[in-house]
Amino acid sequence: MYQSLLGLLQKRKDALGNPTGWSWVIKDPVINFITPTLHILEKDGHLILSTDLRRHSEELYWNLTAFWMRREHKMKWILHQFDKEEIDVIPLKGAALLESIYKRMGVRFMSDVDLLVHDADFVKASRI
């Protein structure tokens, strides 16, 4: 995973005229969403960050981790309620992939959770 991510970062860096350091990632509207990943890349020895960027990327990483822990707790409650009401549900996209693909909650920005339910259960599910 790291090599492909580092390769993509390098391609974007080349496209921007090879800015120095890694602070450009925060300012780049195309890839700034991966800023928390810089924390992991540095921690695992793949790059070196400035003190400010290290602090910023680590803070984002842990904020996202806390966000996902709260969301996961709430999601478990919702899924439990669906189970009690006998509503079949399938988490889609990011929610379904969070643990299997991303492995680390703190690297994934998401603003919503998508759930698939049968048409007949939609109104009942929306009340939960």
Residue reference for tokens 């693909």: 101
Q: Considering the chain, what percentage of its residues have pLDDT values greater than 90? A: 49
First to last CA, the chain: 37
Tens digits of per-residue pLDDT, 110-122? 667 788 899 999 9
Residue with tokens 């960027």: 53
Integer angstrom CA distances of residue 63 from 7, 56, 67, 91, 112: 26, 11, 6, 23, 16
Q: Are 114 and 93 in contact (CB under 8 A)?
A: yes
Nearest residue to 108 (alpha-carbon basis) of 49, 61, 41, 59: 61
Alpha-carbon distance values, 12 to 7, 24, 57, 101 (Å):
9, 10, 19, 23
Q: 0.85 cut: is pTM over it? A: no
Residue 86: predicted pLDDT: 96
